[in-house]
């Protein structure tokens, strides 16, 4: 199994709370890409970002627990779907 070099790894896209709003963030970045009033709007934007970057979309509930993980790239070729 080959290891990915650090520069080949992509950063996951997160949907998380931002006060009373919802933020779309890139893992490791301090500032959100964009902030939304509704989680559905944040999810839509985050999904497009994850597709563009071919990475994971991870969503959290208000309590911080992860409630969704979707992959938009780098899946094993053996994986169906």
CA atoms within 13 A on the CB side of 40: 0
pLDDT in tens, the chain (81 residues): 444 444 445 799 999 999 999 999 999 999 999 999 999 999 999 999 999 999 999 999 999 999 999 999 865 555 554
* Distance, CA of 57 to CA of 37 (rounded, Å): 19
* Distance, CA of 59 to CA of 48 (rounded, Å): 14
Quote the pLDDT of residue 78. Answer: 56
Q: What is the pTM (predicted TM-score) of this model?
A: 0.79
Closest to 58 measured CA to CA, from 20, 9, 23? 23
Quote the pLDDT of residue 73. Answer: 80
CB of 68 within 8 A of CB of 22? Answer: no
* Distance, CA of 18 to CA of 24 (rounded, Å): 9
């Amino acid at each position: 199994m080959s290891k990915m070099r650090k520069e080949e790894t992509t950063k996951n896209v997160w949907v998380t709370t931002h006060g009373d709003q919802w933020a779309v963030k890139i893992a490791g970045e301090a500032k959100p890409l964009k902030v939304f009033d509704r989680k559905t709007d944040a999810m839509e934007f985050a999904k497009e970002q994850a597709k563009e970057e071919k990475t994971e979309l991870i969503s959290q509930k208000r309590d911080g627990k992860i409630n969704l993980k979707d992959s938009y790239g780098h899946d094993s070729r053996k994986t169906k779907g």
